[in-house]
Amino acid sequence: MSLFRRGRGGPGRVTVQEAAARTGHAQAAGNGGTPVLLDVREPAEWQAGHAPGAVHLPLTALVTGAGLPAEAQARPVVVICRSGNRSRRAAELLQAHGVEAVDVMGGMQDWAEAGLPVVDSRGRNGTVA
């Protein structure tokens, strides 16, 4: 059975708490089949603050045909953006290409509000831009 419940008409959606649990942010992270958290925000947003261990691929790059980063290949993907709009589109694109993907409702805004870790490009406390 899949980790991701897919509703009709598009990829599934998860809360930030579900995303954190699935990607290992709520506990010690593992590898292999553990889903990867894919942040699809633009570079300035990523540099200001992102989840530790997340992988970065801006939606603009994904739309123009960029492939998944090596860390995200052959793994389920939990897609996050600032509020949940771009991640929904990215999850749809990935799913159309055979990637098991869900998006995170509320995005990094809800992630930070839930008290989950956010780091900047230097590994210090970050902010959601």
Catalytic residues: 81
Helix and strand numbers, DSSP H then E, in the chain: 5, 5
Tell me which residue of 7, 20, 9, 11 sits closest to 118, measured CA to CA: 20
Q: Name residue, tokens 């869900």.
A: 102
Strand 36-39 with 12-14, pairing: unpaired
Name, in order, each residue with C-beta under 8 angstroms of 9's C-beta and a sequence gap of 6 or more. Answer: none
Q: Tokens standing for 49?
A: 């603050």
Tell me which residue of 33, 34, 50 sits closest to 42, measured CA to CA: 50
